[in-house]
Chains A and B, each alone.
Chain A
Amino acid sequence: SQTIHQWPATLVQPVGSPLSLECTVEGTSNPNLYWYRQAAGRGLQLLFYSVGIGQISSEVPQNLSASRPQDRQFILSSKKLLLSDSGFYLCAWSPPGRMPKMVSNQPQHFGDGTRLSIL
């Protein structure tokens, strides 16, 4: 079966420090991978997604970047954190592709999330 691991679970960082959050998926090949951010009591904002190694699409301009150095590894990074980067970060995966002319009915499966506090 497929599993997704995300770490760390919580992180407290000073303003201006770098960031690296890691997400790995097991039990599947060539998954679609996603990074979301969630402000307290709010919905999920998609930050990045990737359909393959080295392929990253950014959804919103921001202080963060993403990389996919291996098929099942997705990394969220920042060189200098801002106070506004605080939040709950979720990684997710879904099976690749879909049938032609049919929307994929496969849900995204989420990691347990990282609570990031910037001081």
Chain B
Amino acid sequence: AQKITQTQPGMFVQEKEAVTLDCTYDTSDQSYGLFWYKQPSSGEMIFLIYQGSYDEQNATEGRYSLNFQKARKSANLVISASQLGDSAMYFCAMRGLKAAGNKLTFGGGTRVLVKP
């Protein structure tokens, strides 16, 4: 079984500052992938970034980067230079090698509010 934990239910960040969203996971799979999604108030789920367990480099996509610490089983999302449009719910998810149907397991999410 896989489990994703996001311990920060909500946080404020000042515009133009960086913010780190925590994600820890538990799995018995040797190979797995970690995904981050953004959900604005409108409800759609937007894929942000992916990190594979065997990737040697931390993933980056524009202002998003992943601080992947495999030994600690954490995959924290860093958003640099926050913008007002970054205000949203953020979900961490994982997929294990044994996941039937390429299922994802989601964490409970972190709500981010960017202040001007």
Closest to A95 in B: B102
Q: Are A113 and B96 in contact (CB under 8 A)?
A: no
How many A-B Cβ pairs are below 8 Å? 72
Within residues 80 to 119 of chain A, which ones have a CB less than 8 A from any CB in chain B?
A: 88, 90, 92, 94, 98, 101-113, 115
Is A13 an interface position by the 8 A CB rule?
A: no
Is B68 an interface position by the 8 A CB rule?
A: no
A104-B102 CB under 8 A given contacts A92-B45, A113-B43: yes
Q: Are B32 and A43 in contact (CB under 8 A)?
A: no
Closest to B52 in A: A105
Give bound CA distance, A48 to B36, whole Å: 21
Closest to A114 in B: B43
Give bound CA distance, A66 to B60, whole Å: 37
B90-116: contact bitstring with A at CB < 8 Å (1 yes, 0 no)? 010001110111111111110100000
Give bound CA distance, A104 to B61, whole Å: 19
Within residues 21 to 40 of chain A, which ones have a CB less than 8 A from any CB in chain B?
A: 32, 34
Chain A residues with Cβ below 8 Å from B91 are 43-44
Give bound CA distance, A94 to B47, whole Å: 12
Task: Find the residue from A101, A104, A111 having the highest chain B CB count within 10 A.
Answer: A104
A112-B102 CB under 8 A given contacts A102-B97, A103-B32, A103-B97: no
A46-B97 CB under 8 A given contacts A110-B45, A112-B44: no
Chain A residues with Cβ below 8 Å from B33 are 103-105
B95 to chain A, nearest CB (A): 6
Is A74 an interface position by the 8 A CB rule?
A: no
Question: Could you list 7 examples of A-B contacts with CB < 8 Å?
Answer: A42-B109, A44-B91, A88-B43, A92-B45, A103-B53, A105-B33, A107-B35
